[in-house]
Every structure is written in C-alpha cells, then in structure tokens.
Amino acid sequence: MLVSQMGQVELEGVDEVPLKTGLEWVPEEGVEFKGRSGVDWHGGFCEGMVYDVLAYYKPYTHNRDWGIYYVVPSIANDLERLIETMYHQGINEELIALTVAIYPSLITIHEVCHHTLENVRRLMGLRNIYESHDEGLCEYTAFKLIEGSGIAHPYPLVALLNPLTPMDIHFHGDHIHVITRFGDFVIPFPISIRWRWGVRYPLMVSGGDVRRALTILYKWWGRGNDPIYRPRISNNYTAEFLRNYWLQLRGDLVPFMDHALTNKPVKESLWTKLNTDDKRISIITKCGDKA
C-alpha cells in the first residue's frame, strides 16, 4: 500500500486512472424506451449548497449540517411515473425491477462525487469548491461505476450503496415499499413480480442487464441533450486534477472508512451524513436563474 502526496491510499499495481477529458458514457443501442421525466433539471450551486433536484449536497466548507440530502417527494413522484411508463411500454418485468433498484445508487454516487470534488479542491488549495461542469463528471462517474458493478469490478462496494442510503426499497409483489426517516410510502407496482435476487440491489447481474437499465434512466432523465448533466468529462479539468479526484473517490466510496482511508479536511465519514428532506426544493424559487 502506498500513500500519495495528497494523503490518499493508493493500491500497488493499480496506477492507471480511467478518467480523461472528453470521455462520455454512451447508452446501450437497441433499447427501445420512450418517455421523459417531469423533473425540471434546473440545478447548480446556490446558498452554499449543490442542488441536483432529486438530491442535494451541503458542503462542509459552508455548512455545519453538511452531507447528502434526498428529496423524498420528488423521488417518489419520479419513480412512480417511471414505473408506469416502463410497464405501459412493455419493458421486461425483471428489467423494470433492476432499473428501480439501481435508481437510488445512481443518485447516491453522483452526490458522493460532489463531496469528493470538494475534498480535492480543498486539498489542492483551489478557491472554488464547485464548477458547473462538475455535474457532467459526477454523472459520468455514477453511470460508469454502476455499469461496472454488474460484472467483475474493482469496487464491489458500489453494489452495496443501495442498502446504505436512507431510502430502503423493498419489492412486495404488487407494490414497492420505500422506507425513509420521514416515514414510509408505497408506490404501486403494475406487475406482481418475484424479485429473484432478493429485495435489494443484486450483487452480481450481467453487465448487459445493468447497461440496459442505465440506458432507460439515461433516456428518462434526458441526459443526452442536457447541457449540464450529460455524462461526460469536461476539457476544463487537468490530468493532475482527474488523478487526484480518482484517488480520493476510491477512498470516499468505502462506507464509514472514508475519513480513515483519505486525508481529507473533514474527519467525519460522509456515510454518517446521509439524510432525507420531505420538502420539494426548486433552485429557481430559491435563487432564481442566477444559479
């Protein structure tokens, strides 16, 4: 085991950084799905927080109550509409279930990446902790890591993120039971399904199945045409920055050990800072179009 100049843990023999400017996550060809989420993806940095509509990240640089917050009403509405749309388009029932199971992990990894970017910029002595092109990097990272979690992957803990979020998703035949800190809610499931992998995110499924599920979410959220959230790495990053980001992220993704495995400015684990918010939040109403 080696330790980099920034203090992150490096693994011997794993020196390649799988990130470079211009990379983009491309959806699976041949996945027939039409439908768009009603979510208004008007996110950005506002009032010291990173708003991503379905969730937001409060940086420790500006907030004592820092951490990741899931916007439960928005997620519940979006999930219900997604399930109905997939069902009416004749999507395979197991692909529907896998897409729903992946949903919270995709949101979680995106927000973890905002935390990682804050850590990196603080450690590198950079002035800003957020840039608008961070959204594309965070989305690219989330899609790539979850895509890899369905096959042999160097970070199998990614597949365990779903049980760690404060949204616990259970499939109960004709409905989905979602448990949060603000109480439970039920989303009608239009088919009676036997979830053969169990009630949570499967540890091992085929890479093709995961890519198809991710492609549905990509299309549902309109990522291909989104100027901010399109999953690609901006040319504004340097190779040094991306390397530091990758090394930091590997530690930040280890639940409850992230503060021990990395030399980040805050000495608390991000995984103790996952919260839910029972109010719909709009960055437009809070900050106007300035964000």
**What is the C-alpha separation between 113 and 260, in angstroms, rounded?**
18
Angle, CA 258 vertex, CA 254 and CA 261 arms, to 5°: 105
Tokens of 161: 């993120």
Counting Cβ atoms within 10 Å, is residue 253 exposed (0-12), middle (13-18) or buried (19+)?
buried
30 in a structural domain = no
- Label residue 290 by pLDDT band (50, 70, 90): very low
49 in a structural domain = yes
Q: 57-61, 105-109, 147-151: which has the minimum mean pLDDT?
A: 147-151
35 in a structural domain = no
**What is the C-alpha separation between 215 and 28, in angstroms, rounded?**
6
Question: What digits encode the pLDDT tens for the residues 240-249?
Answer: 999 999 999 9
Question: 216: closest CA among 127, 118, 143?
Answer: 143
User: Model pTM?
Assistant: 0.82
**What is the C-alpha separation between 146 and 141, in angstroms, rounded?**
8
The CA-based dihedral angle spanning residues 130, 132, 136, 139, taken in that order and rounded to the nearest 10 degrees? 50
7 in a structural domain = no
Structural domains of the chain, count: 1
64 in a structural domain = yes
Question: What digits encode the pLDDT tens for the residues 215-226?
Answer: 999 999 999 999
Residue 50: CB atoms within 10 A of its CB come to: 27
6 in a structural domain = no
Element (DSSP H or E) covering residue 2: strand 2-3
279 in a structural domain = yes
280 in a structural domain = yes
* pLDDT, position 98: 82
Spatial contact of 27 and 220, defined as CB atoms under 8 Å apart? no
- The helix/strand/coil state of 252 is helix
pLDDT of 73 above 90: no
**Residue 159 exposure: Cα atoms within 13 Å on the Cβ side:** 20
Q: For residue 210, what are the domain limits?
A: 40-290
Beta-sheet pairing, 2-3 with 9-10: antiparallel
